[in-house]
Amino acid sequence: MKLEKRSLFLEREESLVDLWLFIIVNTTILALLINILAFHYGTTAVATNLLYIPIVIAAYWYPRWGVIYAVGVAALYIGIVALLTNGAVQNLAASAVTCFVVIGVAAVVSSLATHMRKNEVKYRGIFNHSEAGIGLVRDSDRSVVEVNRRFAETLGYVPEEAAAVPFDRLWADPSDREHFFSLLSGQGNVENLETRFVTKAGSPRWVLLSAGQLADDQFVCTIVDITARKQAEEALIIKDHAISSSINAIAIMNHDYTITYVNSSLHTLMGSQGAVDFTGKTLWEYVASKDIGETIKEALKKKGSWFGEICLYKINKKSFYVLLWINLVKNERDSPVCIMASFIDITDKKQMEAVKRQALEQIEKNIEQFAILGDHIRNPLAVIVGLSSLTPGDVTDKIVLQAREIDRIVTQLDQGWIESEKVREFIKRYYRVGMRDKENASVPAEFLAK
């Protein structure tokens, strides 16, 4: 840490430190020689002021040693005065006062220089290690004076390269650049301007730009890379449009199933006039069966999703069937964020299935009636044959012959009944005939009436 601070202390004009040491030593020697000559010629009033020059320079460039150097020079000066004036009290007193003033000036300058360097270290640290990109720009020619590491990295440069690029060339949109300089010249600062800069590779990058005027024809600007945020915003806009314009009816809910968003397709599906119809309401207020609601809740807790057919109520309380797909939406930490449900209207399909089922049930009844009818035909036929045998002759033979033909036809009907049993089993298995009462137990009566 000490080495870092020392390097920061010496960062400004490090190449001149040795030169200033040479100047301090030589100006001190020159000031003392001039004071010796002044005592020789008796004109010391002005010469003593020359001691301030090396003392101030030493206190500024070497604040830790400034006071010590001033004490050393003051002691040497008093020694010279004592030697040249033979220890005259008046001259010693005057030189002592001068030395005290010199030491005081050195102390003040050293303190100010130390404070200035501490501030320089602090602000230089902020400049170099800030997570925001910081740059100094000369206002007159718009040249970049200095940038920190973050500024350069945001645009794909190293600091030395970024400082060599004119500020005007960093902009992707000339209109944004002119707007920025218009605001800066008009009000002296710019805050949170979203614009695009061009990277070293030539690709645009979104930044949040702020700037403020400084002295010496300069302004400071800070940039924060918001490219990822802008891309996320664009992705959200695309996804929001995809959801809002989807042909599927979609609803988004809180963890307690309170509806927070519905798209236009769901408004149409539910017969809604606007979002006010769903404000503060839960999904279960539109579900016809409470049992299916508990099933869905349990499935979401265990599996995170549920898919199946469900009966709902429209805004006008009319019932209809939908195919529901409901899911828990989770974040990257696998924590639930919201619940999303998608609805597809299958009312027409359910009604067609109901009509088909009724037709197949009627077929089953007809098959049963055919079997019963065969027995009913054979019974009177046997009576007819028995009665005809009581009257012998050609008529009897004809009656028996026709009776046998009728019996053969009935036998064919019986064989058809055997085949119909297979059809009946097929109907029960694949068309769920015979399960109507059980299946429709939770279906609203007005829907079945359709």
Residue 241 lies inside a defined structural domain of this protein: no
Structure tokens at 283: 């999904």
- pTM score: 0.55
Distance CA 50, CA 56 (A): 11
443 within some domain: yes
**Domain range spanning residue 206?**
130-227
Are 303 and 361 in a shared domain? no
**Residue 7 and residue 121 in one domain:** yes
- Number of domains observed in the structure of the chain: 4
The answer to the question of residue 238 being in a domain is: no
Alpha helix positions (H), 145-275? 149-154, 159-163, 174-187, 227-244, 264-270
Q: Are residues 370 and 323 in the same domain?
A: no
Whether residue 235 is contained in a domain is answered as no
Residues contacting residue 102 through CB under 8 Å, at least 6 positions apart: 51, 52, 55, 70, 73, 74
Residues near 363 by beta carbon (within 8 Å), at least 6 away in sequence? 423, 427
What CATH code is carried by the domain that includes residue 185?
A: 3.30.450.20
d(CA 26, CA 15): 18
Domain limit, last residue, from 345, 376, 391: 345
129 Cβ partners below 8 Å, 6+ apart?
Answer: 148
**Residues 90 and 18 occupy one common structural domain:** yes
Per-residue pLDDT of the chain (450 residues; tens, 9 = 90+): 434 444 444 444 455 566 778 888 888 888 888 888 877 777 666 777 888 888 888 888 888 888 888 888 888 888 887 887 777 777 778 778 888 888 888 889 888 888 888 887 777 777 777 888 999 999 889 999 989 999 999 999 998 888 889 999 999 999 999 999 999 999 989 999 999 999 999 999 999 999 999 988 899 999 999 999 998 888 888 888 888 888 889 999 998 899 999 998 988 888 888 878 888 889 999 998 888 888 999 999 889 999 999 999 998 889 899 999 999 998 888 888 899 999 999 888 877 877 777 777 777 677 667 667 766 676 776 777 776 766 666 667 777 777 777 777 777 766 665 666 666 666 666 555 554 444 444 444 444 444
